[in-house]
Chain A
Amino acid sequence: MADGTTGAAASGVPARRAATRGGALHRMARRRSTIAVMMCLPLFALIAGLVVYPFFYSIYLSMLSREMDRFIGLFNYEYLLTSDTFHLVVFQSCLFAITAVFFKALIGFILAHVMHNISGRDQRVWRGLLLVPWVIPPALSTLGWWWMIAGSYSAVNWFLQLVGLHPVAWLAITGWARFWVIVVNVWFGTPFFMIMYLATLKSVPEQLYEAAAIDGATGLQKIRYISLPLLRNIISITVLFSLIVTFANFDIVEILTAGAPANSTQVFATYAFQVGIGSGNIPMGAAVSLFIFPILAIFAIFILRGVNRRAKEAI
């Protein structure tokens, strides 16, 4: 990078003679890569300073005592691994992420297909309508959900009473609280899957389906033998992406239940927030949140390996 100035000075002068190896063009190439590095520098600084450094700093923090005056090694991790609450958090995070992503992918897949059946102008309108959940900031829409489910005048309970059932304290019962957290997440995230799959479906040549129809495939068989194999990569990628986002989700759980009842809906992010910022035990909070990374990395490795393998087979 330091030789950028010499390179800059040398070019621009039209060369008079044939270059001995690595002449002005070579310097130009080097200058070009210097410019390229400069252009990437802000991005590099951002990632290094505000992602990579904090990440390692977090590892360091997680090995301090609560008052951050003593180095206590892996004690915080030991403590967490034996803590029942933390076990609950791990369980709920996985349950939450996997269930929610499964339903998002499934509903997204169905919606993409039915949307694909519909012609242009109509499709735009429906797509616009179904995209609404994803457009509203989730923190705000979750607040609306909360008011609808559990507010003092729960609108959901109003329905129950209408058909003669007793009102339910939805977010105070473990099972229901978990159910609603997942529902809100599915509601928010499905449109993303839908538009991704729809875009991919649109890129599948219509002739493939026509050929399948001539070969005698029914509608479901067309999905099974044409859509699914062709969408497999994009399904993997969206599922990976969504797993990462859902696993690390904070907004929905924090606003809807804040982990209640009795930490049964607590996920990594909310628990880390409660421990780290809420109770001021930053090292422990860091330890909690750091568990997110290896789990995401494992997801990523598995799914990306599959994608790569299939990409290679495709060639």
Chain B
Amino acid sequence: MSGATLAGGTPQPRRGRRPSLARERRWALWVSYITLIFFAIGFLIPPYFEIVTSLKTSEQIGSGRNPWFVHHPYLGNFLYIIHNAQFQTFFLNSVKITLVVVVVTLLISVFAAYALARMRFFGSEGFATGVFLTYLVPESLLFIPLFKVLAALHLINNVWCLALIWPTLSVPFCTWIMIGYFGSIPRELDEAAMIDGASHMQMLWRIFIPVAMPGIIAATIFAFTVCWGDFLYPLAFAFTSTQMTLTAGIVSTLIHGDVLDWGKIMAANILASAPPILIYAFLMDYYIAGLTAGATKG
């Protein structure tokens, strides 16, 4: 019972200096801001450094001058990368496969989550748990057998093989998010819709999906990020640069070029990171809500 904590409001004439609560609060706020500033700087150093590097010519990078500042920003790296055919291919591959996988993921997980959250059937609970347990079999275990499976399907070194494989990364978690959201919709809502004359499909389409829209957005973002950022599968299953997505492409192809071309590599890096960053910038709240809603229920 230290004196500093009389904050609660019990009248204590002995140490009745009123500001004690305010002082404690202010102190806590100071500590909080200092901690935040410290970590924010630490967290933002690498992206900052990437941006600085991307704005330099190779000569500037090689000059041995302060690598942390750029005196004459140079946009040539970005222009070069945007017009680079290889980069365009990577980008296009990433976009088209990711979009396909996002759509497939939503279809699979929304239907499954609706069934698992609302229409109990034999073994549904065990199945729901099983879906989550797939995370005990991570991609770093699966890429070897999948390599053989894809080889048998003649899909090795074909970027579309990722459309088949990536849903294994996105679907289980999206299903989990959606089960959480659907589960939080009050049962009376289905009953009201049932009495209003809705069929299962109408209920899903006109009630559940609109009401669980935040969850759907969260699931979409998750599916997008996971696929966009995946590195192991595209690296393991593609050899030629036309069949690569951004991550594997930048790391394995551009890097082998001119060693001094780090300005261009960083520009490519930034452009490749831009879509997820933009999505988060605009939809962060949905995503966090979806993620934490699922977690606090699980």
Seen from chain A, the residues whose Cβ lies within 8 Å of a Cβ on chain B are 32-33, 35-37, 39-40, 42-44, 46-47, 50-55, 57-58, 61, 107, 110-111, 113-115, 117-118, 126-133, 135-141, 143-145, 147-148, 151-153, 155, 158, 187, 190-191, 195-196, 199-200, 203, 210, 213-219, 234, 237-238, 241, 244-245, 248-251, 254-255, 268-269, 272-273, 276-277, 282, 285-286, 289-290, 292-293, 296-297, 300
Q: How far is the CA of A128 from the CA of B139 in the complex (A)?
A: 29
CB neighbours (8 Å) of B5 from chain A are 213, 216-218
CB neighbours (8 Å) of A254 from chain B are 231, 235
Interface size class of B (residues with CB under 8 A): 35 or more
**Shortest CB distance A128–B (Å):** 6
Q: How far is the CA of A300 from the CA of B115 in the complex (A)?
A: 26
**Can you show 13 pairs from A to B with CB atoms below 8 A apart?**
A130-B40, A136-B47, A139-B229, A140-B247, A144-B266, A148-B49, A195-B288, A196-B292, A248-B138, A251-B247, A277-B236, A290-B141, A300-B136
B144 near A285 with CB under 8 A, answer yes
CB neighbours (8 Å) of A215 from chain B are 8
Q: How far is the CA of A143 from the CA of B256 in the complex (A)?
A: 13
Which of B9, B46, B49, B146 counts the most A-chain CB atoms under 10 A from its CB?
Answer: B46
Q: How far is the CA of A39 from the CA of B292 in the complex (A)?
A: 26
Q: Which of B35, B53, B64, B111 contacts A39 (CB 8 A)?
A: B111
B32 near A147 with CB under 8 A, answer no
Which residues in window 8-64 of B have CB below 8 A to A?
8-10, 24, 28-29, 31-33, 35-36, 39-40, 42-47, 49-50, 53, 61-62, 64
Seen from chain B, the residues whose Cβ lies within 8 Å of a Cβ on chain A are 1-2, 4-5, 7-10, 24, 28-29, 31-33, 35-36, 39-40, 42-47, 49-50, 53, 61-62, 64, 66-68, 107-109, 111-112, 114-116, 119-122, 124, 127, 130-131, 134-149, 164-165, 167-168, 171-172, 175, 200, 225, 228-229, 231-232, 235-236, 246-248, 250-251, 255, 259-260, 262, 265-266, 269, 272-273, 276-277, 280-281, 284, 288, 291-292, 295-296, 298
Contact A46-B108, Cβ < 8 Å, known A199-B288, A293-B141: yes
B32 near A46 with CB under 8 A, answer no
A144 near B49 with CB under 8 A, answer yes
B39 near A143 with CB under 8 A, answer no
A137 near B200 with CB under 8 A, answer no
A58 near B142 with CB under 8 A, answer yes
**Shortest CB distance B219–A (Å):** 13
CB neighbours (8 Å) of B115 from chain A are 35-37, 39-40
CB neighbours (8 Å) of A118 from chain B are 29, 32-33, 36
CB neighbours (8 Å) of A139 from chain B are 229, 231, 247-248, 251
A42 near B147 with CB under 8 A, answer no
**Shortest CB distance A63–B (Å):** 13
A282 near B144 with CB under 8 A, answer yes
B67 near A158 with CB under 8 A, answer yes
B251 near A255 with CB under 8 A, answer yes
B142 near A132 with CB under 8 A, answer no
CB neighbours (8 Å) of A107 from chain B are 39
Contact A61-B277, Cβ < 8 Å, known A111-B36, A138-B231, A238-B295: no
Contact A297-B250, Cβ < 8 Å, known A50-B165, A129-B44, A273-B232: no
Q: How far is the CA of A57 from the CA of B145 in the complex (A)?
A: 6
Q: How far is the CA of A292 from the CA of B136 in the complex (A)?
A: 9
Q: Which of B141, B171, B272 contacts A292 (CB 8 A)?
A: B141
CB neighbours (8 Å) of B284 from chain A are 127-128, 131
CB neighbours (8 Å) of B277 from chain A are 132, 135-136
Q: How far is the CA of A83 from the CA of B188 in the complex (A)?
A: 61
B36 near A61 with CB under 8 A, answer no
B32 near A117 with CB under 8 A, answer yes
A57 near B149 with CB under 8 A, answer yes
CB neighbours (8 Å) of A145 from chain B are 46
CB neighbours (8 Å) of B2 from chain A are 216, 218
Q: How far is the CA of A297 from the CA of B133 in the complex (A)?
A: 9
CB neighbours (8 Å) of A151 from chain B are 262
B167 near A40 with CB under 8 A, answer no
Contact A203-B44, Cβ < 8 Å, known A43-B131, A55-B142, A139-B247: no
Contact A213-B8, Cβ < 8 Å, known A36-B115, A296-B136: yes
- Name which residue of chain A comes closest to B292, CB basis: A199
Q: How far is the CA of A210 from the CA of B68 in the complex (A)?
A: 46
CB neighbours (8 Å) of B247 from chain A are 137, 139-140, 251
CB neighbours (8 Å) of A40 from chain B are 111-112, 115-116, 124, 127
Q: How far is the CA of A173 from the CA of B66 in the complex (A)?
A: 25
Q: How far is the CA of A153 from the CA of B259 in the complex (A)?
A: 11
CB neighbours (8 Å) of B142 from chain A are 50-51, 54-55, 58
Q: How far is the CA of A117 from the CA of B53 in the complex (A)?
A: 36
CB neighbours (8 Å) of A244 from chain B are 135-136, 138
- Name which residue of chain B comes closest to A155, CB basis: B67
CB neighbours (8 Å) of A213 from chain B are 5, 7-8
